[in-house]
Amino acid sequence: MSIAQSATAAPSFRIPAVNRPAAIAGSIAVAVAANLVVWLLGLAAGGSFEVTKAGQVTEVGAGTVILSSALPLFVGLTVAALLSYKWVGVLRVAQIAGAVLAVATIGLTVAADFDTATTVSLSVMHLVLAPVIVGGLAALRNGLLER
């Protein structure tokens, strides 16, 4: 390859291939870590992370962030991984459905009685899940197709 060709070649980004457990565990770890950072930034921005519903004040703490990030991912990615034993194409469907659901559920956060900083932070946490879902399932799919 000449110098002129190397200067014009576009760099490519390739998601590494991993096995099913690694894709699930890695995606959960990334989502939880990222969402905890977003939560801490929300606290620093003055978010109370408290909501009042039916006279009860409920706080969204670190434990809630961890559980709310990990549980849906664990269930969704595990179901997709198990179904991929029979049909690898389910991973593409799950990428789309997972990302759409992560973004669509922002409406639940906006409808709740949170302050602005908390609403923005919790909405960003939903947005964090979309690329994590797509990336984790892409890595899983790459691992299955390289066999």
The residues, any chain, with a CB within 8 Å of residue 60's CB and separated by 6 or more, are 39, 49, 50, 51, 118, 122
Residue 144 pLDDT exceeds 80: no
The predicted-structure confidence for 62-78, as pLDDT tens digits, reads as follows 999 999 999 999 999 99
Mean pLDDT of all residues in 109-133? 96
The Cα 147–Cα 145 span in angstroms is 6
* pTM of the full structure: 0.85
